[in-house]
Amino acid sequence: MPAYTLKRTFVAFLILIVVSGLTFSLSHLSADPALTIGGEQASEEDIQAIRKLYGFDRPIHVQYLDWLGRALSGDFGESYHYKQRVFDMVSERIGRTMLLGTLAILFALVVSIPLGTLAAMRPNSITDRIALFIAVLGQALPTFWFALMMIIVFGVWWRWLPISGHTQWANYVMPTIALGYYATPALMRLTRAGMIEVLASDYIRTARAKGLSPASVLFKHALRNAIIPVVALAAVWFGFMLGGSIVIETIFNLKGIGWLSYDALLRSDLPVVQAIVLIFASFYVVLTLLADLLNAYLDPRISVR
Amino acid sequence: MSGTILEVENLSVDIPVAAGMLHPVRGIGFSVSRGETLCIVGESGCGKSLTSLAIMGLLPKTARRNADRIEFLGRDIRNLREREMARLRGGSMSMIFQEPMTSLNPSYTIGNQLAEVYLRHVEQSRAAARDRAVFLLEKVGISSAASRLGQYPHQLSGGQRQRVMIAMALMCGPELIIADEPTTALDVTIQAQILHLLAELQREFRMGMILITHDLGIVARVADKVQVMYAGKTVEEGPCETVFDAPMHPYTQGLLRCIPIPGRTRRGERLGSVPGIVPNLVGELSGCLFRNRCDHARDACAGMRDDEPTRMGDGHAYTCLRAPGEISGELQAAEAP
């Protein structure tokens, strides 16, 4: 297990380096930061001066290594637009995004695992059909539309919940549901498929032949095995919840880093964009790593291979 | 008889399928006493596995079970609720399956899976469960048993896993053990060991055992009683020696021609086979179902009543129109050089 962990961590680190290199070069190719900083009225001489001042005239790999060196020590530079340190801007908002993402994935798991299990216990029954309907709906509804409908119903008509902001717990209810519901169908279907397969397996027949209680057969013997692929998928979806919160944070004016990245992209504020892309990429990489380790824990056969 | 553990009369299993009603088991009966081994023999699809699942109450949900009698330890278990049935399963009746590679849960240690049955049926003591597990693992011939408890199924070979399955079946000291083709998935060398082990444990713990197999070589070595099944019906039953010495039903005779017998089968001699396949068991069935594969088939076979066997005394019975005299004359002629 320690060797396995070490190997996986090394691969994760390599992925981050590659991702950061790609983002850096792509964003510097797609937008000229000197133009952004100079603004529309800037003359050609001003632009040249800015290029020299910020070091944009150097070869791109030199700029990248310079940026990477400082990023590794936590210095992501300064926002071109807000003239604030990117590190401060991100750390002020990242907690909100993490909270929203965590709540959303928990919501998705709490809905999808019981629903998927229930559906698998009686395939093609009414329960199964209802679960499938809920899942298909979640997949078919665009997130932004679903979020707006919730705002109209719960925020405007019934006035139960606040429709924007991030200061109180109630602010997170609708964003969590809107974001989490999007992840529910995939997780539910995988739980259902896994449970149906596992329930037909020989070791479930053994468990029943041992006279174990239905709860023990279902939860101890079946769910544990069925849940292994769900864990991996949930980790990927968690990354998606964190990165995909851009739309939801914008709709609900919940100022996390999703909202910040949307704002930074509109302004070609490259240091902010780069920092956030790197953070989102790290989320994915770390989550995938954690999922692999959790899988290895749940399924003892994995770490041996 | 006071030593009787299980008595089954007229057991049938019906499964609704797209084409109609499937009748994989059609009215069979048998009994098992303490310390006795009953072998149920037949080819794939003859209903022998479903028979054992029917007794255990483990049939698939869609299957329907009917019986005039299923008495286990003097108690009618036909109408027991699932909860009460679960109390018996793994406790006083337990089962060993055909596929040792997939019958253990890959996510839990051997120790956990062994202890679990004990904790469920005997007593809530982890220490006692552990001791029992170690004792039985040693009994079934697993080396350094105590250290195996922490191992996962994938760390064991097929033969070892089947030994673990046997130990698991014995955890609660069952009265009846049903082994459904326990050696089919194993190497030939391991097969003999496992079989020997089962027979030994069965004698030691004085359990009743139902051994389900398609291998008559196995039957000859361990059975007290034999029941030959064909197409969901018993075609011949009786004490092991009698059936082997004087098989009456053409199907039993065919099966016996398939195995080499020491001293009787000459080197280089071709073994026999039973040509043809098992008939489709969907819908209404009548007459002797073996007739389309039988060398002795005649017109009357189609109208034969298959629920009235010819009884020969000492429990030997067969379901065929041919008279005992006709068959035994043939047998003697065949044995003469």
pLDDT tens-place string over residues B130-143: 999 999 999 999 98
Position B263 confidence tier, pLDDT thresholds 50, 70, 90: low
Is the pLDDT at B4 greater than 80, yes or no?
yes
Record: contact B58-A208, CB cut-off 8 A: yes
Gap from B226 CA to chain A (nearest CA, Å): 25
Residue of A nearest to B104 (CA): A203
Gap from A147 CA to chain B (nearest CA, Å): 40
CATH code for the part of the protein at B4-101+176-335: 3.40.50.300
Residue of A nearest to B98 (CA): A202
CB atoms within 10 A of CB B270: 7
Give CA torsion, residues A186, A191, A197, A198, to 10 deg: 160
Angle A203-A207-A211 from CA coordinates, rounded to 5°: 160
Position A292 confidence tier, pLDDT thresholds 50, 70, 90: confident
Range from A166-175, B8-17, B280-289 carrying the lowest mean pLDDT: B280-289
Record: contact B105-A298, CB cut-off 8 A: no
Q: Output DSSP code: residue B89.
A: B
3-state class (DSSP) for residue A278: helix
pLDDT tens readout for residues A186-215: 999 999 999 999 999 999 999 999 999 999
Locate the DSSP E strands across chain B: 4-17, 20-33, 37-41, 64-66, 69-72, 75-76, 93-96, 176-180, 208-213, 225-230, 233-239, 310-311, 317-318
Residue B264's pLDDT is 66
Average pLDDT rounded to a whole number, residues B231-257: 90
Range from B217-231, B285-299, B321-335 carrying the lowest mean pLDDT: B321-335
- Going by C-alpha positions, the residue among B43, B95, B3 that lies closest to residue B293 is B43
What whole-number distance in Å separates Cα of residue B38 and Cα of residue B262?
A: 23
Q: Which residues pair with B208 in a beta bridge?
A: B176
Position A74 confidence tier, pLDDT thresholds 50, 70, 90: confident
Is the pLDDT at B1 greater than 50, yes or no?
no
- Going by C-alpha positions, the residue among B320, B39, B51, B50 that lies closest to residue B195 is B39
Average pLDDT rounded to a whole number, residues B152-159: 91
Is the pLDDT at A269 greater than 90, yes or no?
no
Record: contact B154-A301, CB cut-off 8 A: yes
What whole-number distance in Å separates Cα of residue A188 and Cα of residue A184?
A: 6
Residues 6+ apart with CB under 8 A from B292: B276, B279
Contact pairs from chain A to chain B, CB under 8 Å: 75
Residue of B nearest to A227 (CA): B107
What whole-number distance in Å separates Cα of residue B181 and Cα of residue A303?
A: 33
Residue A303's pLDDT is 61
Record: contact A206-B97, CB cut-off 8 A: yes
Q: Which of A202, A216, A298 sits opposite B107 (nearest CB)?
A: A298
Is the pLDDT at A71 greater than 90, yes or no?
no
Residue of B nearest to A299 (CA): B107
Residue A1's pLDDT is 64
Residue of B nearest to A202 (CA): B103
Interface probe for A, chosen from B105, B154, B164 (most Cβ of A below 10 Å), is: B105
Look over chain A and give the mean of its residue pLDDT values, rounded to a whole number.
Answer: 87
Range from A47-61, A251-265, B106-120, B161-175 carrying the lowest mean pLDDT: A47-61
Range from A10-19, A91-100, A120-129, B268-277 carrying the lowest mean pLDDT: B268-277
Gap from A1 CA to chain B (nearest CA, Å): 15
pLDDT tens readout for residues A170-191: 889 999 999 999 999 999 999 9
Q: Which fold has domain A94-304?
A: MetI-like fold (1.10.3720)
Q: Output DSSP code: residue B15.
A: E
Record: contact A208-B89, CB cut-off 8 A: yes
In chain B, how long is the greatest CA-to-CA distance? Answer: 66
Task: Please give the radius of gyration of chain B, using alpha carbons only, rounded to the nearest integer.
Answer: 21
Chain B partners of A300 at a C-beta cutoff of 8 Å?
Answer: 106-107, 152, 154
Chain B partners of A213 at a C-beta cutoff of 8 Å?
Answer: 86, 120
Chain A partners of B82 at a C-beta cutoff of 8 Å?
Answer: 214
Q: Which of B89, B97, B168 sits opposite A202 (nearest CB)?
A: B97
Backbone angles phi, psi at B75, to 5 degrees: -125, 130
Is the pLDDT at B336 greater than 90, yes or no?
no
Position B334 confidence tier, pLDDT thresholds 50, 70, 90: low
Chain B partners of A217 at a C-beta cutoff of 8 Å?
Answer: none
pLDDT tens readout for residues A151-177: 999 988 988 888 888 788 888 999 999
Chain B partners of A225 at a C-beta cutoff of 8 Å?
Answer: 105-107
Chain A partners of B90 at a C-beta cutoff of 8 Å?
Answer: 209-212
- β-strands B37-41, B208-213: how paired? parallel
Record: contact A203-B86, CB cut-off 8 A: no
Record: contact B154-A224, CB cut-off 8 A: no
B116 CA to centre of own chain: 26
Chain A partners of B99 at a C-beta cutoff of 8 Å?
Answer: 202
Residue B170's pLDDT is 94
Record: contact A210-B117, CB cut-off 8 A: yes
Position B227 confidence tier, pLDDT thresholds 50, 70, 90: very high
What whole-number distance in Å separates Cα of residue B169 and Cα of residue A201?
A: 18
Higher confidence at residue A295 or residue A89?
Answer: A89
Chain A partners of B58 at a C-beta cutoff of 8 Å?
Answer: 205, 208-209
Gap from B6 CA to chain A (nearest CA, Å): 17
3-state class (DSSP) for residue B263: coil
Query: A interface toward B at CB cutoff 8 Å?
Result: 201-203, 205-214, 216, 220-221, 224-225, 298-301, 304
Range from A16-25, A238-247, B202-211, B256-265 carrying the lowest mean pLDDT: B256-265
Is the pLDDT at A276 greater than 60, yes or no?
yes
CB atoms within 10 A of CB B4: 16
Q: Which of B90, B121, B154 sits opposite A209 (nearest CB)?
A: B90
Residue of B nearest to A300 (CA): B107
Residue A45's pLDDT is 86
Chain B partners of A207 at a C-beta cutoff of 8 Å?
Answer: 105
Record: contact B90-A224, CB cut-off 8 A: no
Residue A305's pLDDT is 46
- Going by C-alpha positions, the residue among A243, A236, A228 that lies closest to residue A286 is A236
Q: Which of A205, A212, A299 sits opposite B116 (nearest CB)?
A: A212
Residue B180's pLDDT is 92
Q: Which of B86, B102, B103 sits opposite A213 (nearest CB)?
A: B86
Record: contact A212-B107, CB cut-off 8 A: no
Average pLDDT rounded to a whole number, residues B102-122: 94
Chain A partners of B52 at a C-beta cutoff of 8 Å?
Answer: none
Record: contact A202-B154, CB cut-off 8 A: no
Is the pLDDT at B114 greater than 80, yes or no?
yes
